[in-house]
Amino acid sequence: MALSKFISPSIMVPKIYEYAEYIKQFDRYDLSVIHFDVMDGHFVPNIMLGTSIFDDLKEMTNIPLDIHLMVHQPENYISMFNIKKDDWVSFHPETTDHPYRLLQTIKELGCRAGLVISPGTPISYLEESIDQLDYVTLMTVNPGFAGQTLVPNTFNKIRRIRNLLDSYDSKIDLVVDGNTTPENSINMAKNGANGFVVGSASKILKSPSTFGEFYEKYMDNLK
Ligand code: DX5
Ligand code: ZN
């Protein structure tokens, strides 16, 4: 059975003053998840989204947040955020000594657990933790910034991960993060991605007033 396709809007992209309008749209279309980037200025050369924005979003919507931890020692960050059951939490396996243990901790909180694979990270990490994974995020750009172009070999890496996941349990979502334009997403889906973090590259976050129009078109393209 094919996994259902979904988008996950990257909330680091809109301006803070646009959040309320966007959240209205996300709720209206009953989105399954919102992408929440956390960057520590060490693992990636940027600093992004902290605990108070997280709390504000939690007050604004019941849609689960996907906390994408781009930090060293992600195990130290879990207790800083008021993570709720059904949120998604993902991290980069090379940032911790014990990726398997951290996946277990995330699942004990009632959250969906994911690993994030950067362009230079071997996909063999996935194999060792496969029984704990609810989703995998593949970075299709180098992590840290919105507005970049795809790294070469992206489509091939999507295919290699999809094949690996299928050989174990095809219910694991494969999410792509970075430059998911409407055109790129078609090829990403063909190669096995079913979740799409949409940031600045997607017309979906151009403005809250055109969200619905572009969201519907984007999903239609992926059928
Ligand atoms: C990049 C972040 C992404 C970013 C992608 O490190 O993880 O979530 O928002 O957005 P684009 O590539 O569409 O600008
Ligand atoms: Zn991200």
Query: What is the pLDDT at residue 169?
Result: 72
Query: What is the pLDDT at residue 2?
Result: 73
- What is the 12 CA–ligand 2 centroid distance (Å)? 9
Measured between alpha carbons, how far is 77 from 94 in angstroms, rounded to an integer? 16
Partnered with residue 69 across adjacent β-strands are: 38, 91
Query: What is the pLDDT at residue 185?
Result: 97
Q: Which atom of ligand 1 is nearest to the CA of 178?
A: 12
**Average pLDDT by consecutive 10-residue portion of the chain (223 residues)?**
90 97 98 98 97 98 98 98 98 98 98 98 96 97 95 97 90 96 97 97 94 97 93
Query: What is the pLDDT at residue 1?
Result: 59
- What is the 62 CA–ligand 1 centroid distance (Å)? 23
Query: What is the pLDDT at residue 202?
Result: 87
> Is the CB of 182 inside a 6 Å radius of any atom of ligand 1?
no
* Best mutation site among 145, 180, 183 for ligand 1 pocket (most ligand atoms within 8 Å of CB): 145
Which one of the ligands is nearest to 119 CA? 1
Query: What is the pLDDT at residue 170?
Result: 74
Q: DSSP letter at 163?
A: H
Query: What is the pLDDT at residue 172?
Result: 96
- What is the 54 CA–ligand 1 centroid distance (Å)? 17
The listed CATH number (3.40.50.720, 3.40.1160.10, 3.30.70.270, 3.20.20.70) that belongs to domain 6-221: 3.20.20.70
Residue 212: strand, helix, or coil = helix
Domain extents in the chain: 6-221
> Is the CB of 200 inside a 6 Å radius of any atom of ligand 1?
yes
